Structures are given as C-alpha cells and as structure tokens.
Amino acid sequence: MQVAIYYNNRDVRSEEMPVPEIGPGQLLVKVKASGICGSDVMEWYRIKKAPLVLGHEIAGEVVEVAEGLKRFKTGDRVFVSHHVPCNRCRYCLNGNHTVCQTLHTTNFYPGGFAEYVRVPSMNVNYGTFLLPKEVSFEEGTFIEPLACVIRGQRLAHLEAGQHILILGGGISGLLHLLLARAQGAGRIIVTDINEYRLKAAKEFGADEVIHAKEDIPARVRKSNDDRGVDLAIVCTSALTAFIQALYSIDRGGTVLCFAPTEPGVTLPLPVNDFWRNSIKIMHSYGNSPLDATVAIELIRRSIIPVRKMITHRMSLTEAGAGFRLVAEARDSLKVIIEPHKSK
C-alpha cells in the first residue's frame, strides 16, 4: 500500500509498505480521509521520531474484522481515535482521561497518512465509532480536533454570555469560535498574524478580529467596556500570545492554554495579580471518548459546520505539498488527505 512518510516539514515522501495484518480483536480500516493537524507540523516534536507515518484525524471503512469480533462488520463507516484511555485507572476515574498512561501508548498502525490502518483491540473497544449517515468521511476527520475543543471548553466552564478572546485563528481557534458561539458566548474576539485567517474568523462569526502585532490587551479593553475577557483561549505556540492572554483577562476569569509552547519556554506569570484577582490558568490536552461522542453529534446536526473549513483536498502523493501548506499557515485552513484519491 502507499503511505506518506514524514522526515521533516519539507520532506514528506510517498513510499510503499505492506498492508498491515490484523490479529485477535482488531480491525483493518481503509482510510478514506485524513486531516493534517497543526501538531503534525510541530517539527520540534515530530522530527525526533522521524521517519514515520503521521496522521491521527481519520475516517474510513472497515474492510477486515477479526474472527469473533461482533461490534463491527465489513463495510461499516467509522471514525477511529488514535489515542484511547483505559477508563479504569485513578486518572480516568477522576475524569483526567488524557493523562492516562494507556492513552499515551495506544495508536493505530502505521498512521493515518496511509491507505489502510490496523486498529488495535484497545482502540476498537474504546475509540472506534460508527459514522452517522449524515457525516461524510471528510467531516469525520474533524471529530478528533473538535472533541479536543469540547474538552477544553468543558474544563474551562465556558458559559453563555461570557466574553471570549481566542488567540490564534487556525483550525483549533475557529473550532473554539464556533463551539463558543453555539454555547451562547457573548462577544468573541479572535487574533492572528495572518490576514487570511482573520478574514475567515470574521466569516465564521467573530465579533472582532485583531492583528496579533497590535496591543491586544489594550484593544480588548477598548472594545469590552474597559475590562478584560472572561475566558482567553491560547491556540498558538507563540509566547507573545500567552503573554497577551495573561494581560487580557478580567477579574475572576480563566486563561486556557490549549496549545503548548516549545520545550524550555518559561511563561512570566504575574502571580500576585492572579492571586488578588482570582484568575485561573489551566491547560487542556486531547479528549475523552465522551468528547468524541459529543463531537460526532454536533457535526451530525450541523451545529458546527466543519465542511466549510476545508480548503484543500489532496492525494497521498501530494501530502508533502499539504504539509507545507499547513506549516506555512498562510492561505489555507483545513487540508485533507484522501489516500485513495488519484492525483
């Protein structure tokens, strides 16, 4: 089968490897669509594991089922989670599924940028979901990123009427925008350094967009009755965005660090101000099976119109160009790889 192997952001090669064989409790899934995630081009993280087949936002069709496995059959349309928690450890039982050790060791093989993937029994049991007939394969690639956004806003206790600042207008930022709007958020401001993304954020319902090089805290207060926002969501790894978030938050507000910085970066936190003003800073990584279930329903009901975010549909042989589009973060939003598409 054909796969796209990642060496670095500028070197993604189309190569051949055997179709995986499945064992007890496993599935073989034909990948119909696979999204390129911003984390796929986080080179400082990916390159140390290269070469490898990336891709974790997939939807496809079951083509082989292990003997005795009853939950799925050949021909089923599915979304498959790449990481799944055990649902039994102390972390899972306390609702902290994404720090479960099992979650960090489970994955399908070889990766979503391949014509076929083998789904381990753990992922079959806890991370494989039937796609509703209303959800296309390409829409199914948004289930994982939307589930991550759902978890972030759930943990941050986003409420109707809150004023929101989203720093970074890529796919994560836009999904946060759409979900916050669907939950009845008040005024929503989106920042970015890219005019294309600012224009997209405005089209997707942002009340205001601001170029990230401006004085964000000052602009926020000017347009928000001289106060900060209730929730600031950082969706970019730029340290400046984290600092802007810290100084744009209102008393009693929350800063949600949805993206990481590069390793070794220290955030200068105004502890005294945060203590005095009851400001909370928190993080969110990944999602739980519950969040994936909610994401599927939001897409099925077109509450989150993910299809409108797709700007590029490419074949496996074009994956290198797709990676460059995402890494450059210019005139693109969601890039979808269709492994069985002819160039």
Residue 79 has pLDDT above 80, yes or no: yes
Give the span between the Cα atoms of 82 and 182, in whole angstroms.
27
Average pLDDT over residues 224-238: 96
Contact 31, 336 (CB under 8 A): no
| Structure confidence by residue, pLDDT tens digits, 11-65 | 999 999 999 999 999 999 999 999 999 999 999 889 889 999 999 999 999 999 9
Give the span between the Cα atoms of 134 and 299, in whole angstroms.
9
Q: Which fold has domain 2-147+287-337?
A: Quinone Oxidoreductase; Chain A, domain 1 (3.90.180)
Domain ranges of the chain: 2-147+287-337, 157-283
Please measure the distance between the N-terminal and C-terminal CA atoms of the chain and give it in whole angstroms.
Answer: 16
Q: Which residues contact 105 (CB under 8 A, 6 or more apart)?
A: none
| Structure confidence by residue, pLDDT tens digits, 138-195 | 999 999 999 999 999 999 999 999 999 999 999 999 999 999 999 999 999 999 999 9
Nearest to 211 by CA among 186, 241, 181: 241
Residue 242 has pLDDT above 80, yes or no: yes
Residue 342 has pLDDT above 80, yes or no: no
Contact 197, 170 (CB under 8 A): yes
Amino acid at 26: Q
Give the tokens for residue 298: 């939001």
Average pLDDT over residues 300-309: 97
Give the tokens for residue 250: 């209102």
Which class for 206: exposed (0-12), middle (13-18), buried (19 or more C-beta within 10 A)?
buried
DSSP assignment, residue 42?
-
pTM of the model as a whole? 0.96
Task: Please tell me the predicted confidence (pLDDT) of residue 229.
Answer: 98
The helix (H) or strand (E) run that includes residue 326 is helix 319-328
Q: How confident is the model at residue 254 (pLDDT cuts 50, 70, 90)?
A: very high
Contact 238, 227 (CB under 8 A): no
Residue 341 has pLDDT above 90, yes or no: no
Average pLDDT over residues 252-279: 94
Nearest to 77 by CA among 62, 64, 66: 62
Does the fold of domain 157-283 match that of domain 2-147+287-337? no
Task: Please tell me the predicted confidence (pLDDT) of residue 62.
Answer: 98
The helix (H) or strand (E) run that includes residue 291 is helix 289-300
Average of per-residue pLDDT values in the chain: 96
Amino acid at 135: V
Give the span between the Cα atoms of 99 and 125, in whole angstroms.
19
Nearest to 221 by CA among 237, 208, 204, 234: 208
Task: Please tell me the predicted confidence (pLDDT) of residue 343.
Answer: 59
Contact 299, 274 (CB under 8 A): no
User: What is the CATH class of 157-283?
Assistant: alpha beta
What share of the chain has pLDDT > 70, as a percent? 100
Residue 114 has pLDDT above 80, yes or no: yes
